[in-house]
Amino acid sequence: MRDYALAALAGIWLADGIVLLMSPRYIIAQVREILQQSPGLLRWELLAIFGGALLLVAANDLPYPWLWMVTAGGMIAKGAFLSIGPSSWRTPVIEWCLGREDIDYRFWGLSLCMLAVLLFHALGWIGRN
């Protein structure tokens, strides 16, 4: 069950990464529009906290343990900041993130794809006999 939960997390990273690589401007425009229509959507960042906690607990015996600890810490910190952080701090950070150039989003997408491939490899789903 643990492997499937981690593979699901890797699948989400892979899907997000591919979309950011292919059409970052469209995706960011959609995110901006959704956040304007429903700012309470940031409460869903609690799922990032849950995903980070899952990664922290479940991936401790996988290869690349420091990568998973740092990634889990980042997920937990980002989720906590965006879901329960003060709006006066959160709004400028979100505006800065949404105002980046396309190449920045493509590098972020490439990073997400890399994390997904490394997690699939650590789980033994690809590249191992």
Distance CA 27, CA 42 (A): 16
Number of domains the chain contains: 1
| Residue 19 maps to a domain | yes
Residue ranges making up the domain that contains 22: 2-123
| Residue 62 maps to a domain | yes
Q: Look at the pTM and tell me if it is higher than 0.75.
A: yes
- In order of 24, 31, 41, 51, 103, the CA distances from 46 in angstroms are 24, 17, 10, 9, 28
| Residue 128 maps to a domain | no
In the chain, the amino acid numbered 92 is: P
Taking only the tens place, the pLDDT of each residue in 89-129 is 988 999 999 999 999 999 999 999 999 999 999 999 998 66
| Residue 39 maps to a domain | yes
| Residue 54 maps to a domain | yes
| Residue 129 maps to a domain | no
